Structure 1
Amino acid sequence: MSTDPFEDMEDNILLNQHVLTEDYQPEVILERDEEIDDYRFSLRHVLNGRQPENIMLYGKAGLGKTAVTKYMMDALQAKVTENDDIDDLHVHQKNCNGQSLFMVVRSLVNDLLPDHASSFPKRGLGTGDAFEELYTQLDRIGGTHYLIFDEIDHLDKVNTLLYELPRARSNNRITNCRIGIIGISNKYTFRKSLSAKVKDTLMETEISFSPYDAHELRTILRDRADRAFVDGGCGDSAIRMAAAVSASDMGNARQAIDLLRMGAEVAERNGDSCITDDHIDEARDLVQRGRLKNRIRDQTQHAQLILEAIARLQTHGKAPVRSKVIKRQYESVANSWNHDPLTTLKSIQDHLSELHMLGFLSRRDNNQGVSGGQYYEYELDMEPEIIINTRTEVEATEE
C-alpha cells in the first residue's frame, strides 16, 4: 500500500474549477442584455458629470444581479478613467446580510478613512455619529461615489439608510461629492416595505431580473463548460439536463452551474472521463442539500437562531411546538452563541410567520375552543441536522 494517500488523485475532467465557483466573474455577461441596457441608461449621468441616479435591482438569488452590477461598475470605472474631465468614481459595496445599520455605515467609514487614521469605534458612538463621519470622509475624498448595498432587504432600519443618504447633498451634509445608491434585493416586493417618504426621496430606477429559461441556461452552461472542462469532459446531454432541472425549479443560474460542478465531482469520484446524465442526476441531491444550507445562511441572524431553536426542539421530539416554547429555546440558543436575543413574543411570531411563508416551517392551526383559545404550532420542513450543522459553520466563520 502506498504511503501517499493522494498519489492516484488527479483532475481527469476539470481544467479550471474556478469558472464553476460562485465568486467567478465572467468577462461577458450572457442572457442579460435587457437588464444591462437599462443599467447603462441609468448610469449615463455619471459620464455627464451630473448627480448619479439611484438604482434598485430585484430578483431571486442566482439571477445575475450582483454579477451584472460588478460588470457595469467595472465598465463605468474604465470609462471614467479614460476621460480627465469626469469626476473620479469611487465604488463601495457592502453585503447587508446579518448586519445592523450601524455596522454597515461604520464599515463604509473605515473603508474611507486614510491609512494613518484610527478605525471608527465599535462602541461608544451611535449611528448618527457614524453618518456624520461618513459624510466627512466622502467630502474629503470628493468625486462621485456609488454605494452598493447587496441583500439590502436583510438590513434593519433600512428606511433610515435610504432616507438619509439621498438627502445628504440637499441637507448640506456633503458639498464636495455626489453619491448614488444601488440596492440589490432578493425580494420583488421589497419596495412595498419602504415608507412613503423614502419612496419619494429615493426616486430610483427599478431593474427586475426574471428567472432564466432552459434555453438561456444552456447558453450559460455551455460557455462555462468550454472554460471549465477538458475537451470531451462534459456531454451536451448533461448540459441540457442541468439546464432543464434548474429551469423547472427556480430558473437559477447558480443552481445550474452547481449541478455541473457537482456532476464533475461525481464523475471523477467514479473514475469516469465525461459527465453524463447519470452524474447530473446524482448531483441533484447533493446540490439540493447545499442549496438548503445557503438559504439558511441567507436569513437574518435572529431568523437563523429561531430555526436552530426549533431544530434542537425537534431533535428531542418536542415538535410541533408553540411560539412561547420556541421563544424560550431561542433565548437559550442566542445566549449560547453570545448574541443578544429579541425580547418580545411578537417579534418571534413575526419571524415564524416569515419563515413559514419562505417554506422553512410547516404550521398547524389549533383551536381549543373558549377555554384553550386558538394558536399555531410549528415544525421544520427539512431535516433538523442541516440547520444545526449550518448554524455551527456560520458561528465558526464569525469567530
Structure 2
Amino acid sequence: MVSYPENQIIKDARALTEHFVPSRILHRDGQLTTLRDCLMPMTHKKKMRNAFLYGPPGSGKTCISRYVCEELTAHAPGVAYVYVNCWKYPSRFKILLSVLNSLGVVLSVHRKGTPTDELLDVLRKKAKERSIVVILDEMDKVEDPSVLYDVLETENVGLILISNEETALHNVDERVRSRFASAEFIEFYRYKTDEIVDIVRDRVDWGLVPSAIKREQIESIAEHANGDARIAIDTLHVAAELAENADAARITDAHITKALPRASVLSDTKKIEMLNMHQKILYEIISAAGEVEPSDLYREYERRVRAQKAEPMVERTLRKYIDRLLTSGMVEAKGEGRWRMYAKRSGG
C-alpha cells in the first residue's frame, strides 16, 4: 500500500481539473456509443461522420469528445485529433493556427503578414499525411464561421462541434448547415445529483489520498453544483487546496463551505482570462458601474482604450463583443431599446 506524507490531501492535481480525461466515462453511455460510431470509420481509413454536441455547461460534452478521440488515436495510429476552444481562439486565423500548432507544425507567423489561406494550405498538406479530427469547443464564439467550411472542405478531416446551445448552427453559412444536415446531433442533459456524486468520487479516487474526504461531503458538493460537473470538480479542487494549505489532516465541512463561492468565481475567472483587451475593458466597466447605459459604456470604453494608447473598436464590433459577454452569462441586459441597460450577472 502506498504511504503518503502526513497531512497530504492532493495526490494528483491534474485529476482535479476540467482538462483531465478520465479512464472511464460515467452516466453517458448513449452519447459515448453514438460518438464512437461516428468516429469508427476512421479506424478503417474511411471518413468519419461529423458530430454536433450540445447541452448545458458541465454536462460532459468536452470530456467525452476528448475521451473518444484519445480512444480512437490509441487504436488508429494514422489518425490525429486536435482540440480548440473557440472562446480563447475565436478568429479564423487563430483557429487554423491553433489546429496546426496542435499537429506539431511550427510556423513563423505574423497576424498581419501571414495570409489565412496559407495556413489552410498547410492543413491540407498535413491531412494528406494522416486523417485528422478537429474538435471546436464553444463553436458559437467563432467570429468568422467560414472557418467551419474550411475544415469541412479539407479532405481527410472530420469535425466535432460543441456548444451549449442547440441553435448554434442556425446562424452559420448555408453551406455549413447543408454539410451538417447529415451530421450526428448528440444531446447532453444536465447531470442528476447522484450522477455528480459518482463523477466527484471518481476524481477523488484519482486526485486525493485515501480518506481525504467523506461521502457526505461529496454529496454536499454535488448538491451545490446544480448538475454542472465542472463546478463540482472545481469545488473539490478548491476545498482540497484549502485543506492542504491549512495543513489539515482531511477536508472539513468548513473547507467545502469556503470553496463553494470560490469555485463559482474560478469559473468566471477562467472566462475573463480568455477575453481580449477590448472585451476585458467592457466587462470591467459594466462590473464597476453596477448598471450602465450603452452610450455611457461606449464613451467610457473609448476613454480607457485611448488611455492605453490603443485604437477603439468600431461600434459594430463592440456590439459583437457585448453579445459575447451576454451569451457567456458574464453580464446581463435589462430593458429594451432606449431603456436598455447592461449589468454584471446577478450573483456573478
Short-chain TM bin: 0.7 to 0.9
Count matched residues. Answer: 342
Report the counterpart of residue 193 of structure 1 in structure 2.
Answer: 171
Higher Cα radius of gyration: 1
Indicate if the aligned counterparts of 1:97 and 1:300 stay in contact, CA closer than 8 A.
Answer: no
Which residue of the partner structure matches residue 93 of structure 1? 83
Q: Which residue of 1 aligns with 2:97?
A: 106
The residue aligned with 2:214 is 235
Q: Which residue, 128, 131, 137 being the options, matches 1:144?
A: 131
Q: Percent identity?
A: 26
Find the aligned partners of 2:86 and 2:332 in 1 and give their Cα distance. 27
Q: Aligned AA for 1:208?
A: E
What is the distance in 2 between the residues matched to 1:129 and 1:198?
Answer: 21
1:228-253 deviation digits (Å, cap 9, x = unpaired): 3333221111011111111xx3x111
Q: How big is the shift at 1:208?
A: 2.0
**In 2: Cα distance, 1:92 partner to 1:339 partner:** 34
Alpha-carbon spacing, 1:71–1:129, altered in 2? closer, same or farther (3 Å): same
CA contact (8 A) 1:109 1:120 kept: no
Contact conserved, 2:268 with 2:330, CA < 8 A, in 1? no
CA contact (8 A) 1:13 1:229 kept: yes
- 2:151 equivalent to 1:165: yes
Correspondence for 2:291 among 290, 309, 320? 320
Say if 1:111 and 1:30 are closer, same or farther in 2 by CA, change over 3 A.
Answer: closer
Structure 1 residues 278 and 39: alpha-carbon distance in aligned structure 2, compared to 1, 3 A threshold: same
Q: Does 1:307 align with 2:286?
A: no
State the one-letter code of the partner of 2:188.
F
More RCO (CA 8 Å, sep 6+): 2
* CA apart distance, 1:295: 3.8
1:77 alignment counterpart:
73
Counterpart-to-counterpart distance in 1, 2:82 and 2:329: 33
Q: Is the 8 A contact 1:154 1:300 kept in 2?
A: no
Query: Contact 2:7–2:247 at 8 Å: present in 1 too?
Result: no
Q: CA deviation at 1:333?
A: 3.7
Residue aligning to 1:173: none
Is the counterpart of residue 273 in structure 1 residue 243 in structure 2?
no
Gaps of 5+ in 1: 1-8, 82-87, 170-177, 368-373, 387-399
Q: Kindly provide the amino acid, as one letter, of the partner of residue 70 in structure 2.
A: D
Task: State the secondary structure of the residue aligned to 2:134.
Answer: strand
**2:85–2:136: 8 Å Cα contact kept in structure 1?**
yes
TM normalised by structure 1 equals 0.75
Q: Which letter maps to 1:44?
A: M
More off after superposition, 118-127 vs 45-54:
118-127
Distance in 1 (CA, whole Å) between partners of 2:138 and 2:308 is 24
Alignment TM-score, normalising by the size of structure 2: 0.84
Secondary structure of the residue that 2:318 maps to in structure 1?
Answer: helix
Q: Using the TM superposition, give the Cα deviation of residue 363 of structure 1 relative to its aligned residue in structure 2, in angstroms.
A: 4.3
In 2, Cα distance between equivalents of 1:356 and 1:91 = 31
RMSD: 3.1
Find the aligned partners of 1:14 and 1:112 in 2 and give their Cα distance.
32
Query: Given the alignment of the two structures, is residue 348 of structure 1 paired with residue 318 of structure 2, yes or no?
Result: yes
Structure 1 CA distance, aligned partners of 2:56 and 2:308?
Answer: 30
Distance 1:28 1:336 in 2: 51
**Secondary structure of 2:341 counterpart:** strand
Tell me what 2:268 maps to: 292
2:152 is equivalent to residue 181 of structure 1: no
Shift of 1:114: 6.3
* Structure-2 residue corresponding to 1:35: 31
C-alpha contact (below 8 Å) 1:110/1:120 kept by paired residues: no
State the alpha-carbon separation in 1 of the partners of residues 205 and 102 from structure 2.
Answer: 38
Residue 211 of structure 1 aligns with which residue? 190
Report the counterpart of residue 123 of structure 1 in structure 2.
112
Structure 2 counterpart of 1:5: none
Alpha-carbon separation, structure 2, partners of 1:380 and 1:58: 26
Pick closer, same or farther for the CA change 1:129–1:222 going to 2, 3 Å: closer
2:341 is aligned with 1:377 = yes
Q: Secondary structure at the match of 1:189?
A: helix
Counterpart CA distance in 1 for 2:115 and 2:23 is 41
- Residues 339, 58 of structure 1: CA spacing in aligned structure 2 closer, same or farther, 3 A cutoff? farther
CA contact (8 A) 2:6 2:249 kept: no
- Counterpart AA for 2:176: V
1:154 equivalent to 2:141? Answer yes
